[in-house]
């Protein structure tokens, strides 16, 4: 299909599609002439993913490009690829030499972890922020949360596609998309628990 048709199919204007091409978010179509190219269903799908990442997940174009670069070329290690992709998702957390608060929690829980994994520093910063806000999470509370979070995670992992390329895309997009669902569900569960019966 031509770009005009891609625009019609995706509901995204031609100038925006050209911007995605220029920024490397959308792979080029098959050149038909100097000024025209043919796009296919993979482009339709890609535009949907770009829109969802930038509009709904709220990523910048640069962050979305980072995520999509890993999805497009995950490399040999699924584990590393997932960590690299997650580093582009919010929250953005600066690197530090050590994350003692997070390490302490994870080790207390007895979970296997890679200390370089971006979630370690996210946990460290999130715990510090909770302290700063005067709503600290003590060890008892984290230990009460842990089995429930772990059960949810086990359910997630069991549903990851077996194909490695599909798996990394699923894991990255699922992380971006499912965290807001779980956050909204927890807010609703608060209401259910607190509601007068």
Name the segment binding its own copies (CB under 8 A); options: 21-29, 31-39, 69-77, 176-184: 176-184
Window contacting its own copies (CB under 8 A); options: 19-27, 34-42, 69-77, 139-147: 139-147
Sign of CA dihedral 9, 14, 18, 20: negative
115: nearest Cα among 133, 98, 140: 98
Nearest to 181 by CA among 57, 54, 85, 49: 57
DSSP strands (E only) in 22-168 = 30-31, 37-38
69 near its own copies (CB under 8 A): no
Tokens of 71: 């999805």
Interface region with its own copies, contact rule CB under 8 A, candidates 1-9, 14-22, 30-38, 146-154: 146-154
In the bound state with its own copies, the residue whose beta carbon lies nearer, of 37 and 101, is: 101
To the nearest whole angstrom, how small is the minimum distance from the Cβ of residue 21 to its own copies? 20
Report whether 146 contacts 109 (CB < 8 A): yes
Closest CB to its own copies among 7 and 125? 125
Smallest gap from residue 14 Cβ to its own copies (A): 21
Distance CA(179)–CA(137), nearest Å, equals 19
Task: Give the residue with the Cβ less far from its own copies, 2 or 91.
Answer: 91
Closest contact distance (angstroms) between CB of 9 and its own copies is: 14
The CA–CA distances, whole Å, from 115 to 59, 88, 105, 123 equal 25, 18, 12, 11
22 binds its own copies (CB under 8 A): no
| 52 is an interface residue for its own copies by CB under 8 A | yes
Residues 85, 70 contacting (CB under 8 angstroms): yes
Site for its own copies in 113-132 (CB under 8 A): 113-114, 117-120, 122-123, 125-130, 132
Candidate segments 14-22, 27-35, 69-77, 149-157, binder of its own copies by CB under 8 A: 149-157
Sign of the Cα pseudo-torsion (156, 157, 162, 163, in order) = positive
């Amino acid at each position: 299909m031509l770009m005009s048709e891609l625009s019609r199919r995706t509901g995204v204007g031609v100038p925006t599609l050209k911007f995605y091409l220029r920024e490397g978010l959308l792979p080029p179509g098959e050149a038909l002439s100097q000024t025209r190219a043919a796009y296919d269903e993979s482009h339709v799908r890609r535009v949907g993913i770009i829109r969802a990442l930038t509009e709904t997940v709220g990523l910048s174009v640069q962050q979305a490009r980072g995520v999509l670069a890993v999805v497009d070329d995950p490399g040999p290690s699924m584990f590393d690829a997932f960590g690299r992709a997650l580093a582009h998702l919010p929250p953005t957390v600066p690197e530090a030499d050590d994350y003692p608060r997070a390490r302490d929690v994870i080790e207390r829980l007895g979970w296997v972890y890679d200390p370089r994994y971006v979630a370690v520093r996210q946990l460290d910063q999130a715990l510090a922020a909770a302290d700063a806000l005067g709503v600290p999470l003590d060890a008892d509370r984290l230990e009460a949360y842990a089995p429930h979070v772990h059960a949810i995670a086990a359910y997630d992992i069991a549903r990851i596609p077996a194909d490695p390329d599909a798996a990394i895309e699923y894991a990255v997009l699922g992380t971006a998309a499912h965290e807001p669902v779980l956050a909204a569900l927890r807010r609703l569960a608060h209401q259910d628990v607190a509601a007068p019966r």
